[in-house]
Structure 1
Amino acid sequence: MAEPLENDLFDQLRQKSTQDELNKRTKEIQTRLMSHYEKQERRIGSTLDNNSTIPVTISEVRVLSAPKTRRGFLDRIVSPIISKDNAEPYTLVEARKAIDKVAARLSKLGIYQHPISVYIDKPDPTEASSTPTDLKVYFNAKEGSWYTIKTGTEAGTAEGSIYGNAQFRNLFGGAEALNIHASKGTRTRSVISAAFDTPILSNPDLRWEISGLTSSTLKPWASHEEVLKGGSTKFKYETQRGHLHEIGYSGMWRQLTSLASNASPGIRLEAGDSFKSSLSHTWIADHRDNRLLPSRGFLLKTVSELAGVGPLKGDVGFGKLEAESQLAVPIPIPGIKGDSGVAINAGFRAGLLYPLTVGGSSGPVASRFSDRFQLGGPTDVRGFKMAGLGPHDGPDALGGDMYAAGGVSLLVPLPRTGKESPLRLQAFLNAGRLVALKGKPKDGAAMDSESVKQSVKKTLEELKKDHPSAAAGVGLVYAHPLARFELNVSMPLAIRKDELARKGLQFGIGITFM
């Protein structure tokens, strides 16, 4: 029984006068209580199989070691399992499932150290009774540090940067988070962003985020610098099947500026300001065993965006849809038991940008550079330069309105390193095609809706009938916990006119690879 133990300890505690001694004794009490509850938990676990259907009630739930978290916030998480709110008592197995569900939700908040321990106080789990056995449940959820500050340097494809990142957690006792990021680099000249995120109704699977961004990025493959300033807000929720949804609004001012002296006419026509006001939805179903180096499972993802229509305003109007999939299949090797570490990864991506009428225009307007797709580089179609596929004006990439790309890779552990190593040898084959909308006016003039339909139809036919640009190669892959690094030797196999291939060594760093 826990009550006599608690009374005895707290009687001794009241005799102490100094605050230092009080704190010391409080920690001692907590340690002895946890030891007591661990013994009770082991007793319950030893009889769970034999008494799985005995009726039990939960009369009390406490969350320990969480002084900064608001009680009202925690009540919404733990109160549903208290028996007074349920018409019927639990069975022992049902009670344990409900308790584990609460522990999982507490852990998912991201403000407590792992693991979260669960202790159950029960009079005697071996004693049968005609009345439900009463349980008291204790969650030992020790709060982690409320802030993290990081500084460092990053190196990527044709880019180096220094950065600082600050994260503040559980700001108001409700698992809120504030992330502030700043960086300066050779290509991304500057970035300053801030995002505030909070769970809704204490539900870690339902969150709201508001963020702001200002950035300046040099785009040498298109002879200009792009400046972005704006903000966004999102509602994010995850289903019981692990599907993630994000629904959001974004308002972003874009400027194409600092054109190079040799910038092409196509880029010069795009220079200036534009404002995008859009709604978006992202759906992700990720069932891979590892997002950076998967050996089994699949990924499905769609991103849809609607800009400039009706009350959204802005000066660009379009509907945009992207779809992505990836399949990882382990390859058994004779003589090796279980997972060999050898796997085949296959991926596919496609996208469509459909012009729509924006307020004040007489019809759909041709797409802007900032909204078009870019294809080519070490993270999608390897063996080509950054944005090397698709329409070009001289050396400048103009982007496209429709694309499709796919690839397959064979990943093999290095000799003597084993499947647990994050290093892999890679052999790959990838291909892609990026095309501009056929028949669109080059001066940004409006089109009529029927001509847009015909243009999209012709563009799709062209995408399907002609062969894609392709490349193959081998390389070395390293999966760091934060990003994936690749060093490949590529050989272009098929190149279209004006596209920019890259033969030989190519280095890539990123989170998503095709």
Structure 2
Amino acid sequence: MTDSTDNGKSGMTARDIFSGAFQQPSPQPVIDLGRQPAQASKFTITGVSRIRPSFLNTLLQPTFAATTVKQLADEAREAAGKLQALGIAKQVSVELDQGNGIDVHFRCEDGSRFAVRTGVDVGGDEGTANVVGRLNNIWGGGESFEANYARGTKTAAAFRGVLAVPLAADPQHRFEVSASQSTTDQRPYTSHDEVRRSLGALIRKQAGPVQHEVAYALAWREVAGLGHAASPSLRALAGHSVKSGITYTCTYDDRDSLTVPTQGALIKSVAEIAGLGGSVQLAKAQVELQTNRPLAPGYVLSVGAQAGALWALTGQRVPLADRFFVGGAHSVRGFEYRGIGPRDKADSLGGDVFYAAGLSLLTPLPRVEALRGHLWANAGQCALLLNTPKANEFMRFLSSPSASIGFGLVYRHSMVRAELSWCIPIAATTSDKLKPGLQFGLGFQFL
């Protein structure tokens, strides 16, 4: 006996309809945007008041070279990000329209031409208040000029002007020229003022976590304003020096924070050669290492090390302005700022070789996310050795570091790091200036 019910579908039985309800629909074709061919045919930009055609051609060259939909979209987004990073536009939205080719349209909110801000900087055992004026997108290619005037607890006055020009329409690849002047009171660590005037130029290239920088600087330094208690060694170093030199800096930094990192590493090396004119001929090298590892939720182990050396190339005395200084809340805690190394009376004289190392453990505290407990151990030494070789002094320099241990609190702000530490010096030389007990530090970079 056959089922004569057709449910409105001619030639189909109820059993056919029932079984068909469980059949999978035919698969639809999947479009792979990574292989879908596409070519940009036209580009338009609106909302920007100033942009140079040659800059725009360089910026868009990768977009017009794209051969797939995905490549084109990625390059267009990259170009939009560069417009924002260079200050040409505040906001950028990208639209792709299909025609004979693909039309690319950037809708922008014009960037600000002028900006003025005030702020506070900390570091080098002082705080400074500053006023910064900035002129953006000067010639329509993301160029900027920034002028900074600052006064601080030690800085009587400081001015710096920087003209920055992006290379190849890339905000991570810049050429800069600068001029600066500052007068700094180095008391009570050394009985003098330091005046610096400099002209410089540099090329900086950033590629992911790696940054390369080649810089030239012509600097006129003066050790002046000696107090009546200035030591004979300091008086011998007083006066003018002119340095003309080239510096190469290579930095690898993948830390998740510049102030209180919880993971990642920093590797930084600096090499300098001076003697292209001027009165100073020297070679200088410096390296800084840091690694940060999370041990458990909220617990972070940090290990850091720094070292440097400089050589006078003509047998002359190394100028005070080029020497290394060690000690203080940002360096080896438990000692005064510039409190480790050669000294004559109350004057810190710095060294031509130094090293410093630190071990820190950050711990969580209940209910306060931005505040951490801090256990640490620091060690370091600074000496005048390389330009007056003494084998026994060099061995003592390596084997007898000044050291301290301590504990305290670390406050993590979005822009700065603050530390309050209880310091216990455990090893020191007769010339060191200790700072046991409470020590406060505010800044960006700590050992």
**Quick check: which has more Rg, 1 or 2?**
2
Please say if residues 127 and 152 of structure 2, whose CA atoms lie closer than 8 Å, have aligned partners that are also in contact. yes
Counterpart position of 1:318: 282
1:383 to 302, 318, 334: 334
Q: Say if 1:169 and 1:456 are closer, same or farther in 2 by CA, change over 3 A.
A: farther
Residue identity over aligned pairs, in percent, reads 33
Does the CA-based 8 Å contact 1:149-1:165 persist in structure 2?
yes
TM-superposition CA deviations, 1:107-147 (whole Å, max 9, x none): 43244325x33222236xxxxxxxxx732222334233222
Partner in structure 1 of residue 402 of structure 2? 469
Amino acid at match of 2:116: I
Query: Does the CA-based 8 Å contact 1:245-1:283 persist in structure 2?
Result: yes
CA distance in 1, matches of 2:237, 2:425: 30
1:345-396 superposed Cα distances (whole Å, 9 cap, x missing partner): 1111000101113xxxxxx323111111001011111111010001111221
Give the Cα separation in 2 of the matches to 1:286 and 1:403: 23
2:354 aligned counterpart, secondary structure: strand
User: Within 2, Cα distance between the matches of 1:101 and 1:291?
Assistant: 25
Q: Which amino acid aligns with 1:106?
A: L
Q: Which moved further from structure 2: 139-148 or 405-414?
A: 139-148
**1 CA distance for matches of 2:356 and 2:89?**
41
Which of 61, 66, 73 is the matching residue for 2:55? 73
Distance 1:438 1:210 in 2: 33
- Counterpart Cα distance in 1 of 2:392 and 2:107: 63
TM superposition score normalised by structure 2:
0.87
2:367 match: secondary structure: coil
Q: Give the distance between the partners of 2:390 and 2:253, measured in 1 at CA.
A: 31
CA-CA distance at 1:71 after TM superposition: 2.9
1:294 CA displacement: 0.8
Q: Which residue of 2 aligns with 1:238?
A: 206
AA aligned to 1:268 is R
How far is the alpha carbon of 1:319 from its aligned partner?
0.3
The C-alpha deviation readout for 1:420-454, integer Å capped at 9, x for no partner, is x3x322111111011112563xxxxxxxxxxxxxx
1:213 Cα deviation (Å)?
0.9
Deviation, structure 1 residue 262: 1.0
Say if 1:462 and 1:107 are closer, same or farther in 2 by CA, change over 3 A. Answer: farther
Q: C-alpha displacement at 1:57, in angstroms?
A: 1.5
Whether 1:492 and 2:425 are equivalent positions in the alignment is: yes
- Which of residues 369, 382, 388 in structure 2 aligns to 1:434? 382
Unpaired runs of 5+ in structure 2? 1-28
Q: What is residue 359 of structure 2 aligned with on the other side?
A: 408
Pick from 169, 191, 201 the counterpart of residue 223 of structure 1: 191
**Which position in structure 2 is the counterpart of 1:280?**
247
Structure 1 pair 52/253, CA: closer, same or farther in 2 (3 Å)? closer
Q: Does the CA-based 8 Å contact 2:311-2:387 persist in structure 1?
A: no
Aligned-partner Cα distance in 1 for 2:392–2:165: 46
Whether the aligned pair in 1 keeps the contact of 2:48 and 2:88 (CA below 8 Å) is no
Which position in structure 1 is the counterpart of 2:114? 147
Report the residue type matching 1:352 in the other structure: A
Which stretch has the larger CA shift, 203-212 or 370-379? 203-212
1:481 aligns with 2:438: no
Structure 1 unaligned regions, length at least 5: 1-46, 124-132, 333-339, 358-363, 441-454
1:90-169 equivalences under 5 Å are 90-113=67-90, 116-122=92-98, 134-152=101-119, 159-169=126-136
More strand by share: 2
The answer on whether the counterparts of 1:157 and 1:507 sit within 8 Å (CA) in structure 2 is no
Letter in 1 for 2:445: T
In 1, distance between residues paired with 2:335 and 2:54? 55
> Matched residues in 1 for 2:260 and 2:178: separation?
30
- Where do residues 286-325 of structure 1 align in structure 2 (5 Å cutoff)? 286-308=253-275, 312-325=276-289
CA contact (8 A) 2:376 2:406 kept: yes
Query: Which protein has the bigger helix share?
Result: 1
Q: Distance in 2 between matches of 1:96 and 1:439?
A: 59
Residue identity matched to 1:436: L
Q: CA deviation at 1:205?
A: 2.5
Contact 1:438–1:459 under 8 Å retained in 2: no
Larger deviation: 54-63 or 383-392? 54-63
Q: Is the 8 A contact 2:377 2:403 kept in 1?
A: yes
Secondary structure at the residue paired with 1:300? strand
CA contact (8 A) 1:307 1:316 kept: yes
Deviation track 1:69-95 (CA, whole Å, cap 9, x = no partner) reads 22331221013321xxx5xx7233333
Q: Distance in 2 between matches of 1:483 and 1:69?
A: 36
Match for residue 304 of structure 2 among 339, 347, 357 = 347
| Residue 277 of structure 1, CA deviation | 0.9
Q: How has the CA–CA distance of structure 1 residues 154 and 204 changed in structure 2, closer, same or farther, with 3 Å as cutoff?
A: closer
Structure 1 counterpart of 2:145: 178
Q: Which of 55, 77, 81 in structure 1 is aligned with 2:37?
A: 55
The Cα of 1:63 is off from its aligned counterpart by 3.0
Number of residue pairs matched by the alignment: 418
Q: Indicate if the aligned counterparts of 2:42 and 2:104 stay in contact, CA closer than 8 A.
A: yes
From the superposition, tell whether residues 463 and 60 of structure 1 become closer, same or farther in structure 2 (CA, over 3 Å).
farther
Q: Distance in 2 between matches of 1:458 and 1:207?
A: 47
When the two structures are superposed, what TM-score results if normalisation uses the length of structure 1? 0.76
- Counterpart-to-counterpart distance in 2, 1:482 and 1:110: 21
CA RMSD of aligned residues (A): 2.3
Residues 236-289 of structure 1, C-alpha deviation per residue, up to 9 Å, x if partnerless? 1123x4311111111111111111111111111111111111111111111111
Tell me how far apart the structure 2 counterparts of residues 318 and 163 of structure 1 sit (CA, whole Å).
Answer: 33
Instruction: Tell me the CA shift for residue 206 of structure 1.
Output: 2.0
- Give the Cα–Cα distance (whole angstroms) in 1 for the partners of residues 350 and 114 of structure 2: 41
Question: Conserved in 2, the CA contact under 8 Å of 1:157 and 1:508?
Answer: no
